[in-house]
A and B are shown apart, each in its own frame.
Chain A
Amino acid sequence: MSWTRENRWRAVLVLAGVIFTVAAPGVLELFTIINLSTVIALAILALSLGLIWGYGGILCFGQTAFFGIGAYAYTIAAINFGGSSWAVLIAILAAAVFAAVLGYFMFYGRVSDVYMAVITLTVTLILYSLLRRTSGPEYKIGDALLGGFNGVTSPPLNLPWAPYMPLFPEHVFYVGMAVLIIGYIICAWLIQTHFGRVSVAIRENELRAELIGYDTRFYKLAMFTIGGAIAGAGGIIFANGVGRVTPDIFNLYNSALAIIWVIVGGRGTLAGPVMGAFALFYLTSWLGTQGVVNNNLVLGLILIVFVLAVPRGLLPTFISWWDGARSRRAMQRRELKVRRKRSRRSSDQREVTHEK
Chain B
Amino acid sequence: MDLVIALALQIVYGIASLVLISLGLAIIFGMMRVINLAHGEFLMLGGYTVVISTNQGVNIWFAMLVLAPLVVGIIGVLVERLLIQFLYGRMVDTLLATWGLSLLFVGLVTSIFGAQTATTISPPLGVIQIGDYSSSAYELFLIAVTVVLLLLVYAVLKLTKLGLVARATMQSDEMASALGVSTKRIYMITFGLGAAVSGLAGGLLAPVTGVLPSIGATYIAKAFITVISGGASILAGTTAASILLGGINGIMAFLTGPTLGEVALLAAAIILIRLLPTGITGRFFRKSL
Contacts and interface: CB of A to CB of B under 8 A. Distances in A.
Q: Are A and B physically bound partners?
A: yes
Interface of A: 59, 61, 102, 105-106, 108-115, 117-119, 121-123, 125-126, 128-130, 133-134, 251-253, 256, 259, 263, 293-304, 307-308, 311
A300 B263 CA distance: 30
5 contacts: A113-B92, A126-B262, A300-B106, A301-B100, A301-B104
Q: Which of B100, B108, B259, B273 is the most central at the interface, judged by chain A CB atoms within 10 Å of its CB?
A: B100
Contacts, number: 127
B258 interface: yes
Contacts of A252: 214, 217, 220
Nearest to B91: A114
Contact of B221 (A122, A253, A295, A299): A122
Nearest to A303: B100
The 3 closest A-B pairs by CB, nearest first: A297-B107, A303-B100, A300-B104
Contacts of B268: none
Given A108-B274, A256-B99, A293-B111, A129 B218 contact: yes
B183 interface: no
Contact of B103 (A112, A125, A126, A303): A303
A interface: dominant SS: helix
B103 A296 contact: yes
A307 to B, nearest CB: 5
A296 B110 contact: yes
Contact of B100 (A123, A302, A311): A302
Given A115-B273, A126-B221, A129-B221, A295 B107 contact: yes
A327 to B, nearest CB: 29
B86 interface: yes
B224 A307 contact: no
B interface: dominant SS: helix
B102 interface: yes
A252 B106 CA distance: 11
B228 interface: yes
A221 B266 CA distance: 21
Given A115-B228, A119-B273, A298 B107 contact: yes
A5 B214 CA distance: 46
B270 interface: yes
Nearest to B270: A105
Given A114-B95, A123-B266, A126-B221, A297 B273 contact: no
A118 B93 CA distance: 13
Given A125-B217, A129-B262, A130-B259, A299 B228 contact: no
Contact of B274 (A105, A129, A294): A105
